[in-house]
């Protein structure tokens, strides 16, 4: 890589529904989830130079990663692993992450950052964007890694890593709300199992070419099986769900992933703006973002 820095957008992932079956003998949970991506997220920049692969983190939520060894960060791990599979020496590559998404939030932030790192590293190494080694490494980073690498609407089954095209979706106007509480994925899954893991991994049957009203109606027949255990473990999650659902602009309110971020689908951009302004006024210390869901979004 020579010249100007390369930049990639790492969008927030939102699970419009998440059906979770009891664990298999290997301890993994089969799932079915319709995943979409927001036009808000982190930004990752890569520049040639330094010695080996390095990472510096800036932005509003950078302090949340202050105690993490950079070598354990998914950005560094993904870039090194891709270079290894490509049979090349570790490139001299400095990453700068603008961390705009909250952590432990159910938004796939780490996996999306890794996906951005893979796209940038592939460009540096001269690999095609559809080189299968990128998806292999993304899967090694986590079950939602392949979806976050694709960063476009997908239906995930299996562990969430078997991807297929969803029905054609309309523009989705939404609001993301995070109260600042941590919702740890492992603890939520353990609570789900302790409750008997009552869900299943059947995909939700949705009509094709949905409009906004039909999408909300169809999604109402689904659920997030991790919502109840996350809310039981973290009462602030339950409070967030209740507050957002009370607002007249919220047509569908649900937890994303294992939380703690709640999303609300709205009729249009005007309703989403009104909802975001209302929540921000009521809870000025919360992270609240109006967004559009879908993807892929422009890079940079």
9-40 tens-digit pLDDT: 999 999 999 999 999 999 999 999 999 999 99
Q: What is the average pLDDT across 80-103?
A: 96
The angle that helices 132-141 and 74-85 make with each other, rounded to 10 degrees, is 140
pLDDT surpasses 80 at 259: yes
Told to judge if 13 belongs to the known catalytic residues of this protein, a careful annotator would answer yes
CA pair distance 7, 5, nearest whole angstrom: 7
Q: Quickly count helices (H) and strands (E) in the chain.
A: 9, 10
For residue 70, pLDDT over 90 is answered with no
Q: What pLDDT is stored for residue 3 in this prediction? A: 53
Number of other residues whose CB lies within 10 A of the CB of residue 159: 17
Q: Which helix (H) or strand (E) holds 270?
A: helix 269-282
* Claim: this prediction has a pTM higher than 0.85: yes
What pLDDT was estimated at residue 55?
A: 94
How sure is the predictor about 298, in pLDDT bands with cuts at 50, 70 and 90? confident
What is the tens place of the pLDDT at every residue in 105-128? 999 999 999 999 999 999 999 999
Active-site position among 42, 98, 144, 225: 144
Q: Which two tokens stand for residue 288?
A: 């609240």
The one-character DSSP state at 234 is -
Whether 39 is catalytic is no
For residue 268 the two structure tokens come to 């249009």
Residue 223 above 60 pLDDT?
yes
Identify whether 72 is preceded by a cis peptide bond (ω within 30 of 0).
no
Burial (Cβ within 10 Å: 0-12, 13-18, ≥19) of residue 246: exposed
The three-class DSSP label of residue 122 is helix
3-state secondary structure of 152: coil
Q: Which of 13, 64, 99, 113 is catalytic?
A: 13
Average pLDDT of the segment spanning 262-280: 98
């Amino acid at each position: 890589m020579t010249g100007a820095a390369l930049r990639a957008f790492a969008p927030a992932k939102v699970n419009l529904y998440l059906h979770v079956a009891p664990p298999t003998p290997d301890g993994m949970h089969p799932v079915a989830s319709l995943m979409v991506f927001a036009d808000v997220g982190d930004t990752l920049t890569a520049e040639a130079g330094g010695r080996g692969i390095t990472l510096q983190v800036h932005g509003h939520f950078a302090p949340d990663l202050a105690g993490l060894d950079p070598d354990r960060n998914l950005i560094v791990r993904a870039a090194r692993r891709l270079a290894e599979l490509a049979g090349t020496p570790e490139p001299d590559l400095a990453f700068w992450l603008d961390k705009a998404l909250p952590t432990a939030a159910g938004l796939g932030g780490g996996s999306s950052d890794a996906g951005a790192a893979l796209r940038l590293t592939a460009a540096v190494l001269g690999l095609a964007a559809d080189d299968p080694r990128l998806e292999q490494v993304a899967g090694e980073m986590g079950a939602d890694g392949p979806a976050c690498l694709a960063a476009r609407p997908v239906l995930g089954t299996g562990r969430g890593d078997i991807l297929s095209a969803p029905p054609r979706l309309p523009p989705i106007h939404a609001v993301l709300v995070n109260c600042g509480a941590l919702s740890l994925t492992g603890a939520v899954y353990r609570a789900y199992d302790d409750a008997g893991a009552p869900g299943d991994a059947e995909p939700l049957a949705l009509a094709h070419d949905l409009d906004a009203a039909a999408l909300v109606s169809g999604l109402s027949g689904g659920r997030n099986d991790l919502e109840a255990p996350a809310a039981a473990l973290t009462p602030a999650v339950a409070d967030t769900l209740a507050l957002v659902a009370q607002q007249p602009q919220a047509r569908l309110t649900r937890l994303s992933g294992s939380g703690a971020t709640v999303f609300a689908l709205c009729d249009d951009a005007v309703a989403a703006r009104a909802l975001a302004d209302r929540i921000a006024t009521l809870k000025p210390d919360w992270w609240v973002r109006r967004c559009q869901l879908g993807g892929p979004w422009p890079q940079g």
